[in-house]
Structure 1
Amino acid sequence: MGDDFDEFVRTRSTRLLRVAYLLTGDRHAAEDLLQEVLEQMYVRWRRVNESAEAYARRALVNRSTNRWRRRGRRPEAPLAHHDVAEPDHSDDVVIRAAVLDALHELPPRQRAAVVLRYLEDLPVAEVARALDCSEGVVKSNASRGLDRLRSALTSQESGSMT
Protein backbone atom coordinates (compact mmCIF):
# COMPACT_ATOMS: atom_id res chain seq x y z
CA MET A 1 0.00 0.00 0.00
CA GLY A 2 2.67 2.51 1.00
CA ASP A 3 4.65 2.29 -2.23
CA ASP A 4 1.60 2.96 -4.40
CA PHE A 5 0.61 5.94 -2.30
CA ASP A 6 4.18 7.29 -2.27
CA GLU A 7 4.33 7.01 -6.05
CA PHE A 8 1.00 8.81 -6.37
CA VAL A 9 2.21 11.66 -4.16
CA ARG A 10 5.51 11.92 -6.08
CA THR A 11 3.88 12.01 -9.50
CA ARG A 12 0.69 13.97 -8.81
CA SER A 13 1.32 16.33 -5.89
CA THR A 14 2.67 19.21 -8.01
CA ARG A 15 -0.39 19.21 -10.24
CA LEU A 16 -2.74 18.84 -7.27
CA LEU A 17 -0.98 21.70 -5.48
CA ARG A 18 -1.60 23.87 -8.54
CA VAL A 19 -5.31 23.02 -8.40
CA ALA A 20 -5.39 23.75 -4.67
CA TYR A 21 -3.64 27.08 -5.21
CA LEU A 22 -6.07 28.10 -7.92
CA LEU A 23 -8.98 27.16 -5.68
CA THR A 24 -7.69 29.00 -2.60
CA GLY A 25 -5.65 31.86 -4.04
CA ASP A 26 -3.01 31.43 -1.35
CA ARG A 27 0.11 29.26 -1.47
CA HIS A 28 0.08 28.38 2.24
CA ALA A 29 -3.64 27.62 2.30
CA ALA A 30 -3.16 25.47 -0.82
CA GLU A 31 -0.36 23.50 0.83
CA ASP A 32 -2.51 22.96 3.94
CA LEU A 33 -5.49 21.96 1.82
CA LEU A 34 -3.47 19.45 -0.19
CA GLN A 35 -1.92 18.03 2.98
CA GLU A 36 -5.37 17.47 4.48
CA VAL A 37 -6.57 15.74 1.32
CA LEU A 38 -3.48 13.53 1.11
CA GLU A 39 -3.94 12.53 4.75
CA GLN A 40 -7.57 11.66 4.03
CA MET A 41 -6.53 9.66 0.97
CA TYR A 42 -3.83 7.74 2.83
CA VAL A 43 -6.40 6.42 5.29
CA ARG A 44 -8.74 5.41 2.44
CA TRP A 45 -6.05 4.40 -0.06
CA ARG A 46 -7.30 0.86 -0.69
CA ARG A 47 -10.71 2.23 -1.72
CA VAL A 48 -9.53 5.24 -3.75
CA ASN A 49 -6.43 3.78 -5.41
CA GLU A 50 -8.13 3.09 -8.76
CA SER A 51 -9.48 6.63 -9.15
CA ALA A 52 -7.02 8.45 -6.92
CA GLU A 53 -6.54 11.60 -9.01
CA ALA A 54 -10.27 12.13 -9.54
CA TYR A 55 -10.87 11.50 -5.82
CA ALA A 56 -8.15 14.02 -4.92
CA ARG A 57 -9.59 16.72 -7.18
CA ARG A 58 -13.06 16.23 -5.76
CA ALA A 59 -11.75 16.28 -2.20
CA LEU A 60 -9.80 19.49 -2.93
CA VAL A 61 -12.93 21.17 -4.27
CA ASN A 62 -15.05 20.01 -1.34
CA ARG A 63 -12.56 21.03 1.32
CA SER A 64 -11.89 24.34 -0.41
CA THR A 65 -15.60 25.10 -0.45
CA ASN A 66 -15.90 24.17 3.22
CA ARG A 67 -12.99 26.46 4.11
CA TRP A 68 -14.61 29.27 2.16
CA ARG A 69 -17.86 28.79 4.08
CA ARG A 70 -16.07 28.82 7.44
CA ARG A 71 -14.13 31.94 6.49
CA GLY A 72 -17.42 33.65 5.60
CA ARG A 73 -18.60 33.18 9.16
CA ARG A 74 -15.30 34.06 10.76
CA PRO A 75 -13.45 36.80 8.82
CA GLU A 76 -9.68 36.77 8.75
CA ALA A 77 -7.83 39.58 10.48
CA PRO A 78 -4.92 41.23 8.63
CA LEU A 79 -1.47 41.09 10.18
CA ALA A 80 -0.95 44.87 9.98
CA HIS A 81 2.42 45.67 8.38
CA HIS A 82 3.18 41.96 7.70
CA ASP A 83 0.22 41.72 5.33
CA VAL A 84 1.37 44.43 2.89
CA ALA A 85 2.17 43.15 -0.59
CA GLU A 86 5.26 44.44 -2.33
CA PRO A 87 4.43 45.62 -5.87
CA ASP A 88 6.20 43.94 -8.74
CA HIS A 89 6.73 45.94 -11.91
CA SER A 90 6.82 43.01 -14.28
CA ASP A 91 3.82 43.09 -16.64
CA ASP A 92 3.51 39.32 -16.60
CA VAL A 93 3.34 39.20 -12.83
CA VAL A 94 0.80 42.04 -12.74
CA ILE A 95 -1.43 40.27 -15.28
CA ARG A 96 -1.10 36.98 -13.44
CA ALA A 97 -2.00 38.66 -10.16
CA ALA A 98 -5.03 40.30 -11.76
CA VAL A 99 -6.24 36.98 -13.13
CA LEU A 100 -5.74 35.24 -9.79
CA ASP A 101 -7.54 38.05 -7.94
CA ALA A 102 -10.44 37.89 -10.37
CA LEU A 103 -10.49 34.10 -10.07
CA HIS A 104 -10.54 34.35 -6.29
CA GLU A 105 -13.59 36.64 -6.45
CA LEU A 106 -15.67 33.97 -8.18
CA PRO A 107 -18.09 31.91 -6.11
CA PRO A 108 -16.56 28.54 -5.14
CA ARG A 109 -18.53 26.41 -7.63
CA GLN A 110 -17.76 28.73 -10.55
CA ARG A 111 -14.11 28.92 -9.53
CA ALA A 112 -13.89 25.14 -9.28
CA ALA A 113 -15.54 24.69 -12.69
CA VAL A 114 -13.19 27.20 -14.36
CA VAL A 115 -10.07 25.80 -12.68
CA LEU A 116 -10.82 22.17 -13.43
CA ARG A 117 -12.26 22.71 -16.91
CA TYR A 118 -9.91 25.32 -18.38
CA LEU A 119 -6.79 25.43 -16.25
CA GLU A 120 -6.58 21.69 -15.62
CA ASP A 121 -8.05 20.99 -19.09
CA LEU A 122 -10.38 18.25 -17.85
CA PRO A 123 -13.34 17.09 -19.92
CA VAL A 124 -16.77 18.30 -18.81
CA ALA A 125 -17.76 14.79 -17.68
CA GLU A 126 -14.76 14.51 -15.36
CA VAL A 127 -15.38 17.98 -13.91
CA ALA A 128 -19.01 16.98 -13.31
CA ARG A 129 -17.85 13.92 -11.37
CA ALA A 130 -15.41 16.01 -9.33
CA LEU A 131 -18.10 18.56 -8.48
CA ASP A 132 -20.82 15.94 -8.05
CA CYS A 133 -23.21 17.66 -10.44
CA SER A 134 -24.53 17.35 -13.98
CA GLU A 135 -22.54 18.29 -17.07
CA GLY A 136 -25.03 21.09 -17.72
CA VAL A 137 -24.30 22.61 -14.33
CA VAL A 138 -20.57 22.44 -15.06
CA LYS A 139 -21.06 24.20 -18.40
CA SER A 140 -23.28 26.82 -16.80
CA ASN A 141 -20.87 27.47 -13.91
CA ALA A 142 -17.88 27.59 -16.24
CA SER A 143 -19.64 29.97 -18.62
CA ARG A 144 -20.75 32.29 -15.83
CA GLY A 145 -17.31 32.14 -14.27
CA LEU A 146 -15.60 33.04 -17.53
CA ASP A 147 -18.06 35.92 -18.07
CA ARG A 148 -17.33 37.25 -14.58
CA LEU A 149 -13.57 36.89 -15.15
CA ARG A 150 -13.79 38.77 -18.45
CA SER A 151 -15.87 41.50 -16.85
CA ALA A 152 -13.52 41.86 -13.88
CA LEU A 153 -10.41 41.91 -16.04
CA THR A 154 -11.94 44.34 -18.55
CA SER A 155 -13.04 46.75 -15.83
CA GLN A 156 -9.65 46.47 -14.17
CA GLU A 157 -7.89 47.12 -17.48
CA SER A 158 -10.04 50.17 -18.28
CA GLY A 159 -9.55 51.46 -14.73
CA SER A 160 -5.77 51.24 -15.03
CA MET A 161 -5.77 53.24 -18.29
CA THR A 162 -7.37 56.30 -16.72
Structure 2
Amino acid sequence: MTVEEFEEFYASAVRRLTGQLYVMLGDLHEAQDVVQEAFVRGWSRRRQLAGDGNPEAWIRTVAWRLAVSRRRSRRRSEEAWRRHGEPPPVEGPGPGTVALVAALRELSPKQRRTVALHYVCDLSVEQIGAETGLSTGTVKTHLARGRAALVHRLPDPHAEEPPGA
Protein backbone atom coordinates (compact mmCIF):
# COMPACT_ATOMS: atom_id res chain seq x y z
CA MET A 1 0.00 0.00 0.00
CA THR A 2 1.53 3.31 -1.03
CA VAL A 3 1.42 6.42 1.12
CA GLU A 4 -1.40 7.82 -1.02
CA GLU A 5 -3.37 4.58 -0.82
CA PHE A 6 -2.99 4.49 2.96
CA GLU A 7 -4.15 8.10 3.22
CA GLU A 8 -7.19 7.28 1.09
CA PHE A 9 -7.87 4.20 3.21
CA TYR A 10 -7.61 6.30 6.36
CA ALA A 11 -9.91 9.00 4.99
CA SER A 12 -12.54 6.50 3.92
CA ALA A 13 -12.43 4.27 7.00
CA VAL A 14 -11.60 6.34 10.09
CA ARG A 15 -15.14 7.61 10.77
CA ARG A 16 -16.70 4.20 10.17
CA LEU A 17 -14.17 2.44 12.40
CA THR A 18 -14.51 5.06 15.13
CA GLY A 19 -18.28 4.63 15.04
CA GLN A 20 -17.96 0.87 15.24
CA LEU A 21 -15.56 1.01 18.17
CA TYR A 22 -17.75 3.61 19.87
CA VAL A 23 -20.67 1.19 19.75
CA MET A 24 -18.45 -1.66 21.00
CA LEU A 25 -16.87 0.36 23.83
CA GLY A 26 -19.55 2.87 24.76
CA ASP A 27 -16.95 5.64 25.02
CA LEU A 28 -16.39 7.98 22.08
CA HIS A 29 -13.06 9.37 23.30
CA GLU A 30 -11.68 5.90 23.93
CA ALA A 31 -12.88 4.80 20.48
CA GLN A 32 -11.16 7.77 18.85
CA ASP A 33 -7.93 7.10 20.73
CA VAL A 34 -7.70 3.39 19.97
CA VAL A 35 -8.63 3.83 16.30
CA GLN A 36 -5.96 6.49 15.90
CA GLU A 37 -3.40 4.29 17.64
CA ALA A 38 -4.36 1.35 15.41
CA PHE A 39 -3.86 3.50 12.31
CA VAL A 40 -0.47 4.61 13.61
CA ARG A 41 0.51 0.97 14.01
CA GLY A 42 -0.95 0.17 10.60
CA TRP A 43 1.15 2.88 8.97
CA SER A 44 4.35 0.94 9.56
CA ARG A 45 2.65 -2.24 8.25
CA ARG A 46 0.94 -0.67 5.25
CA ARG A 47 2.65 -3.01 2.79
CA GLN A 48 1.46 -6.07 4.71
CA LEU A 49 -2.01 -4.54 5.04
CA ALA A 50 -2.27 -4.25 1.28
CA GLY A 51 -1.58 -7.96 0.86
CA ASP A 52 -3.80 -8.86 3.80
CA GLY A 53 -6.94 -8.27 1.77
CA ASN A 54 -8.91 -6.61 4.56
CA PRO A 55 -6.95 -3.79 6.19
CA GLU A 56 -10.09 -2.43 7.83
CA ALA A 57 -10.55 -5.67 9.77
CA TRP A 58 -6.92 -5.50 10.88
CA ILE A 59 -7.33 -1.91 12.13
CA ARG A 60 -10.60 -2.81 13.89
CA THR A 61 -8.99 -5.83 15.59
CA VAL A 62 -5.95 -3.86 16.71
CA ALA A 63 -8.17 -1.04 18.02
CA TRP A 64 -10.30 -3.54 19.95
CA ARG A 65 -7.23 -5.21 21.45
CA LEU A 66 -5.83 -1.83 22.46
CA ALA A 67 -9.11 -0.97 24.17
CA VAL A 68 -9.16 -4.29 26.03
CA SER A 69 -5.55 -3.82 27.09
CA ARG A 70 -6.24 -0.29 28.33
CA ARG A 71 -9.30 -1.49 30.24
CA ARG A 72 -7.27 -4.22 31.95
CA SER A 73 -4.55 -1.74 32.82
CA ARG A 74 -7.06 0.70 34.31
CA ARG A 75 -8.67 -2.13 36.29
CA ARG A 76 -5.28 -3.18 37.71
CA SER A 77 -4.54 0.43 38.64
CA GLU A 78 -7.90 0.84 40.33
CA GLU A 79 -7.37 -2.38 42.28
CA ALA A 80 -3.93 -1.19 43.37
CA TRP A 81 -5.38 2.12 44.56
CA ARG A 82 -8.06 0.27 46.52
CA ARG A 83 -5.46 -1.98 48.16
CA HIS A 84 -3.11 0.85 49.08
CA GLY A 85 -5.60 3.61 49.75
CA GLU A 86 -6.11 6.93 48.12
CA PRO A 87 -3.07 9.10 47.48
CA PRO A 88 -2.56 12.02 49.83
CA PRO A 89 -4.22 15.24 48.70
CA VAL A 90 -2.07 17.50 46.58
CA GLU A 91 -2.28 21.22 47.12
CA GLY A 92 -3.04 23.39 44.13
CA PRO A 93 -0.49 25.85 42.83
CA GLY A 94 0.20 28.85 45.00
CA PRO A 95 -0.29 32.45 43.88
CA GLY A 96 3.38 32.76 42.94
CA THR A 97 3.21 29.74 40.65
CA VAL A 98 0.01 31.01 39.04
CA ALA A 99 1.63 34.41 38.43
CA LEU A 100 4.76 32.76 37.00
CA VAL A 101 2.79 30.55 34.60
CA ALA A 102 0.70 33.52 33.47
CA ALA A 103 3.85 35.58 32.86
CA LEU A 104 5.55 32.72 31.02
CA ARG A 105 2.55 32.42 28.69
CA GLU A 106 3.37 35.89 27.42
CA LEU A 107 6.78 34.73 26.16
CA SER A 108 7.38 33.08 22.81
CA PRO A 109 7.31 29.27 23.00
CA LYS A 110 11.09 29.04 22.52
CA GLN A 111 11.80 31.62 25.22
CA ARG A 112 9.28 29.97 27.57
CA ARG A 113 10.88 26.55 27.08
CA THR A 114 14.40 27.90 27.49
CA VAL A 115 13.54 29.86 30.65
CA ALA A 116 11.71 26.86 32.14
CA LEU A 117 14.58 24.48 31.35
CA HIS A 118 17.08 26.86 32.95
CA TYR A 119 15.19 28.09 36.01
CA VAL A 120 12.74 25.29 36.72
CA CYS A 121 14.67 22.23 35.53
CA ASP A 122 18.01 23.76 36.58
CA LEU A 123 19.78 22.93 33.30
CA SER A 124 22.91 24.73 32.18
CA VAL A 125 23.07 26.68 28.94
CA GLU A 126 25.04 23.82 27.38
CA GLN A 127 22.51 21.22 28.55
CA ILE A 128 19.64 23.29 27.15
CA GLY A 129 21.47 23.59 23.84
CA ALA A 130 21.99 19.84 23.68
CA GLU A 131 18.34 19.12 24.52
CA THR A 132 16.79 21.68 22.19
CA GLY A 133 19.31 21.69 19.36
CA LEU A 134 19.94 25.41 19.82
CA SER A 135 23.40 26.94 19.92
CA THR A 136 24.60 28.22 23.28
CA GLY A 137 24.46 31.77 21.91
CA THR A 138 20.81 31.33 20.95
CA VAL A 139 20.04 29.83 24.37
CA LYS A 140 21.66 32.83 26.05
CA THR A 141 19.68 35.19 23.81
CA HIS A 142 16.39 33.46 24.68
CA LEU A 143 17.27 33.59 28.38
CA ALA A 144 18.18 37.27 28.26
CA ARG A 145 15.06 38.23 26.33
CA GLY A 146 12.87 36.04 28.51
CA ARG A 147 14.27 37.58 31.70
CA ALA A 148 13.81 41.09 30.30
CA ALA A 149 10.18 40.36 29.48
CA LEU A 150 9.48 38.70 32.83
CA VAL A 151 10.86 41.64 34.82
CA HIS A 152 7.84 43.68 33.76
CA ARG A 153 5.33 40.86 34.25
CA LEU A 154 6.31 39.47 37.65
CA PRO A 155 6.13 41.26 40.98
CA ASP A 156 9.44 41.95 42.68
CA PRO A 157 9.77 39.35 45.46
CA HIS A 158 12.03 41.68 47.45
CA ALA A 159 9.67 44.65 47.35
CA GLU A 160 7.89 45.42 50.59
CA GLU A 161 4.20 44.72 50.75
CA PRO A 162 2.18 47.94 50.66
CA PRO A 163 0.46 48.67 53.96
CA GLY A 164 -2.95 47.03 54.24
CA ALA A 165 -2.20 44.41 51.58
TM-score by length of 2: 0.43
Q: Which has the higher helix share?
A: 1
Task: Answer with 1 or 2: which has the greater Rg.
Answer: 2
Higher relative contact order (CA 8 A, sep 6+): 1
TM-score by length of 1: 0.44
